[in-house]
Amino acid sequence: MAAATSMKVAVAVACAVVVLATACQGLELGYYKYSCPRVEAIVRDEVKKFIYKDAGVGAGLIRLVFHDCFVQGCDGSVLLDPTPANPNPEKLSPPNFPSLRGFEVIDAAKDAVEKVCPGVVSCADIVAFAARDAAYFLSRFRVKINVPGGRLDGRRSVDSDALASLPPPSFNVNQLISAFASKGLDAEDMVILSGAHTIGRSHCSSFVSDRLAVPSDINGGFANFLRSRCPANPTSANDPTVNQDIVTPNALDNQYYKNIIAHKVLFASDTTLLTSPTTAKIVAENANIPGWWEDKFAKAFVKMAAIEVKTGYQGEIRRKCRVVN
């Protein structure tokens, strides 16, 4: 009884730091302890299979939870496929298509969970668990996140919502702070979560126009490297990808912040973190203090994964993650 009480107090404290009034409602560590006790182990096994074949899938899973939570909350809406009634869901929005990946991992995890606990575990929770596990494996087991469960799946998924809610790579620091504040996250959370840019790849079209085609603070040698990989005018037919972090491309670590200081980052939204004394200080701390970023990332992840959680009649538990019931 004492242990259970301590767990509920811990979750309450964690949720108390989230600004949004609706966040964390219904979320609880060990949420499936009795209804589906093996769910988190099942999801982790599926994630491990995919990541050990392709580390890029893990980067995709971490990006997937961010793109889910920032649009209508953490409700699995980014997973929904187009239908005749809804031909333009979130996953087809320009910020998501064709770059967002990891959907096949969520499908595999959901199928495995349904075989053991049919109709119990939401797709939204699987997205959060899978991203948590991807961070664990890609950080070489350094990033350990206690992710509560209890999210419900949403029924709305519209491409324009993603365009309106996801901060583009051209944003400056004030725009980024404002975008994250609208989701109950502060400036430090923004800088910490941006550290996920230490893994994954980006299409050239996401940065060529405002980083290579015009004067910028980008390192000259790095700029020349990117020009050797990217066309001057990327098109849908010719839009290669490059690693976001060329030093440790498959490791979730603090190298991103070292790259910012060295002016070897892709996006304007990366380098802009140096233009504010507050965010520049956080960048320097993450770059120079061992283990600092990993601990901060775990805490910021929990806050992000509690954005606008749906409860009660607001959502459902989908049988298949790509379609509403």
pLDDT at 125: 98
pLDDT at 4: 41
Residue ranges of the annotated binding site for heme b are 197
pLDDT surpassing 80 at residue 17: no
pLDDT at 311: 85
pTM higher than 0.85, yes or no?
A: yes
Residue ranges of the annotated binding site for Ca(2+) are 68, 71, 73, 75, 77, 90, 198, 245, 248, 253
Residue 56: pLDDT band (50, 70, 90) is very high
Active-site pick, 44, 67, 132, 183 = 67
What percent of the chain is helix, strand and coil (3-state, nearest 5)?
Answer: 50, 5, 45
pLDDT surpassing 80 at residue 74: yes
pLDDT digits over 277-310, tens only?
A: 999 999 999 999 999 999 999 999 999 999 999 9
Q: List 202's β-bridge partners, or say none.
A: 242
Q: Are 33 and 40 in contact (CB under 8 A)?
A: no
pLDDT at 255: 98
Residue ranges of the annotated binding site for substrate are 167
pLDDT at 12: 45
Q: Are 147 and 80 in contact (CB under 8 A)?
A: no
pLDDT at 25: 56
Phi and psi at residue 267, to the nearest 5°: -100, 150
SS3 category, 238: strand
CA dist 232 and 209 (Å) reads 8
Residue 24: pLDDT band (50, 70, 90) is low
Q: Which helix (H) or strand (E) holds 285?
A: helix 277-288
List, in sequence order, the alpha helices (H) in 70-184.
103-116, 123-138, 159-165, 173-181
pLDDT at 232: 96
pLDDT digits over 181-238, tens only?
A: 999 999 999 999 999 999 999 999 999 999 999 999 999 999 999 999 999 999 999 9
67 annotated active-site: yes
pLDDT at 8: 42
Mean pLDDT of the chain: 93
pLDDT at 5: 41
pLDDT digits over 103-124, tens only?
A: 999 999 999 999 999 999 999 9
C-alpha angle 216/219/220, rounded to 5°? 95
pLDDT digits over 163-187, tens only?
A: 999 999 999 999 999 999 999 999 9
CA dist 115 and 235 (Å) reads 43
